[in-house]
Amino acid sequence: MYNIIIILSGLIMLGCQSAPTVSQNQFTPFELRKIIERGIQTVDLSPSKSDWPNLKYKDLKPFSFKSDNLKIAILGDTGCRLIENQFGAKYQDCPNPKEWPYAKAVATITKETYDFAIHTGDYHYREKCTDAVLCPQLTKSLGYGWPAWWDDFYGPSQALFEKSPLLFVRGNHEDCNRAYSGWGPLSSSNKKFQDRCHEIEPYQWIEMGDLVLINFDDSAFIDREELKTGDREKWVQQLKQLEMRLAELKNKKEIWFIAHKPVVGFMPDKSTAEPIEIKKNLYSVMKEVGLLSRIDFLLAGHLHSQQLMNSADLPLQIVVGATGTALEPFGRKIMNEKLTTTTENKYSFSYAVFERTGFKRWHWQFKDLDGVTQLDCKVNEGKANCELLN
């Protein structure tokens, strides 16, 4: 019905400021299982008389996964985008499954066979919409409360929760200035809803045999302007501690650094759609502390596309950030020495399935929402041999 609708912010102010009617705190009780450093934590959620559900954290269970033949589903940036700011407004048509296909993504992903899933962050996008005529057609909930969280993530993710445990990465949409109030049960720190917000939550060191997954919170990292001295020092301290711990391993483990914001990446130019490299703030800090040489693979979201970067000065980096929110397409599939992507148009939504075939060896498949493989990669010792399909 609607594509992404761009409206000048000045025009928005002419409309009525009323918001759509929001849903109530009524749902069938459910549980989710999350992967944290100490094992698998089960969380029960049930309706309450307050604005937020009741939470109950159950007994922790140890990992039962075998790292030598692990299979992981990966998704990211899944919410329905409704924002207004000084640059205008961007509205995604939430009821239209073609425009916001997260429910279809969940249905397709859960047909796959895998041990657990990783969500690379940004679960909540229904922030603001004030057009009195249009907004009620696009969503029944807005803001950072439970109704919008339910509609954007907890509700349509029910089959994901039933299928397997998930490793939840904190996105910038879940930072202290935005939708942190609904992050609690997804946090590795077992927080309550509306709990005290910490700018940076402790990283999680998740060890499974010869495999280490580091879930690092870079949701507050500044990536669109120059880093100030104080901010840089803060992140140097955080990452240096991690580098020292990794140095003790002496390359005996396969190391994955998982965070929401990527170390490097590309955005499409607004006029030509040609790839433009993002600011390399995180790359600069990680290189300064010597961390990049300790890592085998980088996994992120944040950029609303699928990206694979296979460069000499960087561990293999994958971006999976195209599983529901409005995309940032490049106009074509690309495979060159800097970038491989299948995000060619605004409907190129995707997810990934990674199967481990040995130490630092993987079979990576990037799929569309019909489950059809678009990019197939054989990975060995830091190199990816990929084929674009379909």
Rounded CA-CA distance 321/327 in Å is 9
What average pLDDT does the chain have? 92
Categorise residue 184: left if φ over 0, alpha if ψ from -120 to 50, beta otherwise: alpha
Q: Determine what percent of the chain is predicted with pLDDT higher than 70.
A: 94
Q: How confident is the model at residue 224 (pLDDT cuts 50, 70, 90)?
A: confident
Instruction: Extract the tokens encoding 321.
Output: 């950030």
What counts of helices (H) and strands (E) characterise the chain?
7, 23
Rounded CA-CA distance 310/289 in Å is 21
pLDDT value for 221 = 96
pLDDT score of 46 more than 80: yes
pLDDT value for 10 = 34
Report yes or no: 153 and 159 within 8 Å, Cβ to Cβ. no
Q: How confident is the model at residue 232 (pLDDT cuts 50, 70, 90)?
A: very high
What is the radius of gyration, based on Cα positions, of the chain?
A: 20
Domain containing residue 195: CATH number: 3.60.21.10
> Distances in Å between the alpha carbon of 113 and those of 164, 193, 288, 339?
10, 32, 40, 28
Q: How confident is the model at residue 250 (pLDDT cuts 50, 70, 90)?
A: confident
Would you say how long the chain is, in residues?
390
Across residues 335-350, what is the average pLDDT?
Answer: 96
Beta pairing class for 71-75 and 116-119: parallel
Q: Which residues constitute the domain of residue 358? A: 5-388
Rounded CA-CA distance 198/207 in Å is 24
Q: Which residue has the higher pLDDT, 126 or 226?
A: 126
Q: What is the pLDDT of residues 275-332, one digit of tens each?
A: 999 999 999 999 999 999 999 999 999 999 999 998 888 999 999 999 999 999 999 9
Instruction: Extract the tokens encoding 120.
Output: 């690379």
Instruction: Extract the tokens encoding 389.
Output: 């399909």
99 CB burial (10 A radius; 0-12, 13-18, 19+):
buried
The string of DSSP codes covering 200-232 is: SPPPEEEEETTEEEEE---TT---SSPPPHHHH
